[in-house]
Structure 1
Amino acid sequence: MAWDFGSEAGGTGDAWIAGDDFTLPCLSCQPKHTDYWNIYRITVWAIAGGYESDFQLGDRYQTISLFLGQDQGEDTVVPRVATANVTGNETDNANVTITPVEYPDNPGVAYQGSGGSFIQIWQIDFFDLGIFSEGQYLFAADGISTTGDPQPLWFNHASNAALSGTPQDQSDDLYRWFFGNAGLDEIVFGGMVDSDGFGWDKSSDINIRVYAEHVRTDIPEPGSLLLMGMGILGLLSAMRRRRMFS
């Protein structure tokens, strides 16, 4: 399945795009400790509209963008962290690559839609995204059509966790939607959607694969710990004096 939430792929006027969330874990999980991760690659999958399999992504989309930012709750502003112009199946950004996906048992095509026709899936890889602290993050991918019209819509590929065949980390059977489009510097978190009853008969999550390596853990500086310890000692001393004179 795939979701676009009625986006205007042309990038003009109001638009809505689909996305989801993921969590960068804490390793120390100690008070005031913060773990930092280098996200060196994110992979998403998209469906470029239509049922043909013999076209290139650049035939339909001129720009693709990835948005990524820490979840701050309602109305979170999510910045664009990567964008690329598309020609054929190539981009003008060395950190953004496009790969047509094929089923191993059905070369040349990929995704079979509910109507039985095969639809091309495109794997989009975004590299070298930078250092991020532990926590929950919102993401979305979107494309601007070559004609500037809302069609074809950009659909982000999604899966039902129970039917995927492999464990789906962090799945919650909900996806997220955002105000915005690929041509903007930032989008705004709008809410969560259960696709069961909202366009489909199953719940789903937008598919993403995050590649990250732990780079450091920030802990309180020794001077801060010393001052905190002195404060505790001073409090205990004051309590003892109070008992002596009471």
Structure 2
Amino acid sequence: MTMIQPRAHSRKKIAGLYLVTDRALCGNRGLEEVVSLAVQGGAACVQLREKDLPTRPFVEEAKRLKALLSPLRVPLIINDRLDVALAAEADGVHIGQEDMPCDIARRLLGPNAVIGLSVETWEDVEAAELMDVDYLGVSPVFATPTKTDTKAPWGLEGLTRIRAYSSHPLVAIGGISRDNAADVILAGADCAAVVSAICAASDPRMAAADIQAEISWALKKKQRNKQHLIHP
């Protein structure tokens, strides 16, 4: 049996509010402005997702975001494209079940890169337990129009089941907003990934701040509950 190698201490931790970009939803503000405002509001990680952008402009965009985010110590994760992640010197990559295998991604990106993996079925969750990944993207938790190529939603019960089984940090994604961000954290997620609730917001900074406040409240509540179990 292949065992998971210890994670390198220099990898950046993924926690809190995780912004996943959608250029079309950003509208006239533009992607970089929305990312900047979201980070001001509390986004702790940014995933650049570009399904249709050619390679060169994708790399150029990634480099601009890297220059924006690095001084703020906010990790930049590239969706799917290892070549873009390497070219832009991004902090890591998020891959799906049909993308580059995790072991090859790790070999190409090196021991310090952040690698996230989408899990859409229970079989995916079981297989991921033996993989050297830094988090699992539980996808989708709720139905969402921004992810149309995924399996049935996990729901909060599915998220709790994964938390009970998996040793990996969990990033919940799919239909997450201010209204349910605390719920997904309390159900077992370490991080809430948001797309339209920030990218399409009239005030991305305030939208991010509101969602981050819900996440922080839920994380503190989980910590209090944990301490109560240890010291009743």
TM-score (normalised: structure 2) = 0.29
Q: Which one has a larger percent helix, Structure 1 or Structure 2?
A: 2
- TM-score after normalising by structure 1: 0.28
Greater C-alpha Rg: 1
